[in-house]
Structure 1
Amino acid sequence: MDILIERAGGVLTIALNRPDKKNAITAAMYQEMADAFFEAEKDAAVRAVLIRGNGGSFSAGNDLEDFLKAPASSPDAPVFQFLRRISSAQKPVVAAVAGAAVGVGTTMLLHCDLVYAASTAKFSLPFVQLGLCPEAASSLLLPRVSGYQRAAEKLLLGEAFDVNEALSMGFVNRVLDADKVDAFAFEQARKLAALPASSLRVTKALMKHADVRDIAARMEEEAGYFSPMLNAPEAREAFQAFFEKRKPDFSRFD
């Protein structure tokens, strides 16, 4: 199974389980995660959600072959369901990040309440490199968290950066040894699960209240650009170069 769901100690754990593909996410996996968040909100026994990856990676982002077979052209596409549900989750969401966190593997972290990362974690936001634009409201949230110039460097250049820079940018809470990050993140989620659910829910809502409408509107705006760009010549060149294992040539495009 590519997504593993476990319940223990009031925590629902969502584990990405495609280690041979560095946990690249397919449409089916997005749907499973979206459904897991939906069930978590309804289940009173679930007090917190933990997201992690198996096999030494968090996520290499979208599985490009799967993504190109079934592009996210509808608001009801599994990826948009997942992003809406993680961004609007009322219960605390904790992430444990090790290894690669590419594209949505990084942008989903901006919707988590606590992010713990291994010293091995490496982040990148290669949307422009693929002829695309940011998603998951990252064009709004990353500048808010990290400041415009730092966000611009990551979103415009798309170059990978390490966990210490992610920590200094403000979207990682703490850096741990790779063999300790999952257990530590689970323990933090378990601590949250032991606290009064109503207090957690209200406190989170108060902190995120000003962002809720902005996030939904920005996701819609990004999607309005993303879908046409996916079919544009620049993106076709980027994806073809990826599959041919060569450097893309954008020089002929205005």
Structure 2
Amino acid sequence: MNLLVETHNRVRTLTFNRPDALNAFDEALYDATAQALIDAADDPEVAVVLLTGTGRAFTAGTDLKEMAQRVGDPDFVPGRYGFPGLIDALVAFPKPLICAVNGLGLGLGTTILGFADLAFVSTAARFKCPFTSLGVAPEAASSYLLPRLLGRQDAAWVLMSSEWISAEQAVDIGLAWRLCEPHELLDVATRHAEQIAQQPISSLIAVKRTMNEPIRGQIDAARDCENAAFAELMGGPANTEALTAFAEGRAPDFTRLPAGA
């Protein structure tokens, strides 16, 4: 199974389980995760959701092999929810969401933390938003949520540079809350999740609603802007060069592209 689901003490743990693909999101994993969040939101026995991953990655974001297929195959069939549906589920999720980042977090593996109420990171974790190196735009309302979470300049570096951010840096700039040794990560995150889960679910939902409702309009506007930019850039010269370079196992060369591309 590409997503493991376990519930204990009113905490539902969702574990990304494509370790051979660094837990990258293909359409099946997007669908499974979106459905699991919808189910957890509706389950009166679930107070908190905890996200983590198997192997050496939290998630490597979008599966680039499938992205290349989507660009090049007119017959590509998207999933029921896909990426947009997963983000819809994250935006709408009414209960506390905790992330335990066990390893690499690329793309959505970083931007999903904008939706986390608490984020715990292993010292083995590293983060990257590779949007510019893929010739595309930000995603998941990160153009709004990351400046709000990190401050404009740290967010600009994360979103523009396509450089790695260490676990220590992530905590320093506010991307994550607590730094843990790898063997302690899940225990620490679960302990905090279970402590929160002892509280009345109605009150937890009220707290999250009062925190999030004032910014829902900005999140929606950011997503609309990002989606338009992504649609414009996907399949364009820079994105094509990035995906070709990935398939060929080389670094992309954007210097040969037409001016402005």
Normalising by structure 1, we get a TM-score of: 0.95
Question: What is the aligned counterpart of 1:151 among 151, 155, 160?
Answer: 155
* Gaps in structure 1 of 5+ consecutive residues: none
Would the aligned equivalents of 1:73 and 1:227 in 2 still touch at CA under 8 Å?
A: no
Q: What is the distance in 2 between the residues matched to 1:6 and 1:248?
A: 40
Q: What is the distance in 1 between the residues matched to 2:206 and 2:223?
A: 24
1:156-175 correspondence to structure 2 within 5 Å: 156-175=160-179
Number of the residue aligned with 1:225: 229
Query: Deviation of residue 198 (structure 1)?
Result: 1.4
Q: What is the distance in 2 between the residues matched to 1:100 and 1:75?
A: 25
Counterpart AA for 2:114 = L
Would the aligned equivalents of 1:16 and 1:58 in 2 still touch at CA under 8 Å?
A: yes
Counterpart AA for 1:22 = L
Number of the residue aligned with 1:243: 247
Deviations along 1:117-151, whole A, 9 cap, x unmatched?
00111000010110001000001111111111111
Asked if 1:69 corresponds to 2:69, the answer is yes
Counterpart AA for 1:205 = R
1:63-142 correspondence to structure 2 within 5 Å: 63-70=63-70, 77-142=81-146
Query: Deviation of residue 74 (structure 1)?
Result: 8.4
Counterpart AA for 1:81 = G
Counterpart AA for 1:55 = G
Asked if 1:183 corresponds to 2:187, the answer is yes
Deviations along 1:28-72, whole A, 9 cap, x unmatched?
100000000111111100111010001132011111112232369
Would the aligned equivalents of 2:59 and 2:105 in 1 still touch at CA under 8 Å?
A: yes
State the Cα RMSD in Å.
1.7
Number of the residue aligned with 1:41: 41
The alpha-carbon distance between structure 1 residues 5 and 194, as it changes in their structure 2 partners (threshold 3 A), is same
Would the aligned equivalents of 2:28 and 2:79 in 1 still touch at CA under 8 Å?
A: no
Q: What is the distance in 1 between the residues matched to 2:66 and 2:113?
A: 22
Query: Deviation of residue 176 (structure 1)?
Result: 0.5
Would the aligned equivalents of 1:116 and 1:174 in 2 still touch at CA under 8 Å?
A: yes
Counterpart AA for 2:14 = I
SS at match of 2:59: coil
Counterpart AA for 1:56 = R
Counterpart AA for 1:236 = T
Aligned-residue sequence identity (percent) comes to: 35
SS at match of 1:20: helix
Normalising by structure 2, we get a TM-score of: 0.93
The alpha-carbon distance between structure 1 residues 77 and 197, as it changes in their structure 2 partners (threshold 3 A), is closer
Q: What is the distance in 1 between the residues matched to 2:176 and 2:54?
A: 19
SS at match of 1:25: coil
Would the aligned equivalents of 2:68 and 2:243 in 1 still touch at CA under 8 Å?
A: no
